[in-house]
Chains A and B, each alone.
Chain A
């Protein structure tokens, strides 16, 4: 377990997340891709904190902030999905070609 291996793992997670976010049609699956990207980001942040940043507390703080961002992303995402679903009965990205009603 070295910094390089940890960063490689984080890169792999971010890559898979990118693939998911770009390729999935369903809103919810798309959000999963975003979550996976953030998962990699958090791992990288903790790895830097532990192995390169001499335990500077900002490293952990960054991870907490990313977690908060994740919660916000998911909550807003679902609220939008519900709002779109109510008006258009659509749960895939192709279902909304324009954002107006």
Chain B
């Protein structure tokens, strides 16, 4: 399928934007900046999806990711406050290995993209992508869609249980001791010795 020149230019710019901002995520100083760079990468991909006629998915990407990245940035600030990224930081481990792994993955996937023969079946001219998606979601694939909904609900409940102040066996700050097998007995399934292991911030370089 041939696209007009303007679309090609737009794609090129967006692709550069997506890759550069995706890469900047891991080499910027502030985690808030990192999450917004990731958001830029997502938005660029979303616009590419709109160019590919997936109108609903592209726009859904904007709002899904805006909310997700906002939550992410808030968590970053909660765990590590660094207004305006004054303190530079580089928190990595197994750095060389990771770079190698990333490059290998890219080469493998790029090889597949370049060498494999994919069928060329462009979109039919009369296809309305949004209607087709809607019919699919509430038609043939309704079970999948509804399962996704149920899983999301389960996630919500699980998340509230996990992150709430009260752990499974009482307050989280008390260290969640399971009850004894006999009333007043030792906690079930716990080793006898209670060694104090290194809590606190581990900030390895």
Contacts and interface: CB of A to CB of B under 8 A. Distances in A.
Contacts of A42: 45, 49, 57, 61
A79 B160 CA distance: 8
Interface string B4-19: 0001100100010011
Given A5-B11, A74-B68, A91-B80, A39 B106 contact: no
A71 B68 contact: yes
Contacts of A80: 162
B59 interface: no
B75 A78 contact: yes
Nearest to B57: A63
Contacts of A1: 3, 7-8, 11, 48, 51-52
Contact of B162 (A29, A32, A83, A101): A83
Interface string A28-44: 11011101100100110
B122 interface: yes
Interface string B171-205: 01101100000000000000000000001111110
Interface string B124-144: 100101001101110011001
A67 B38 contact: no
A25 B64 CA distance: 26
Interface string A52-95: 11110110110111011011101110111111011111111111
B34 to A, nearest CB: 6
Q: Is the interface of A mostly helix, strand, loop or mixed?
A: helix
Given A9-B15, A61-B133, A68-B148, A22 B110 contact: no
Interface residues of B, number: 95
Interface string B76-115: 1001100000000001111101110111011001101110
Contact of B72 (A28, A61, A92): A28
20 contacts: A3-B118, A4-B114, A13-B41, A16-B25, A24-B92, A36-B38, A46-B57, A48-B118, A50-B52, A50-B53, A50-B54, A60-B56, A60-B57, A68-B151, A74-B68, A75-B156, A75-B159, A92-B91, A93-B93, A94-B93
Interface of A: 1, 3-20, 22-26, 28-29, 31-33, 35-36, 39, 42-43, 46-55, 57-58, 60-61, 63-65, 67-68, 70-72, 74-76, 78-83, 85-95, 101
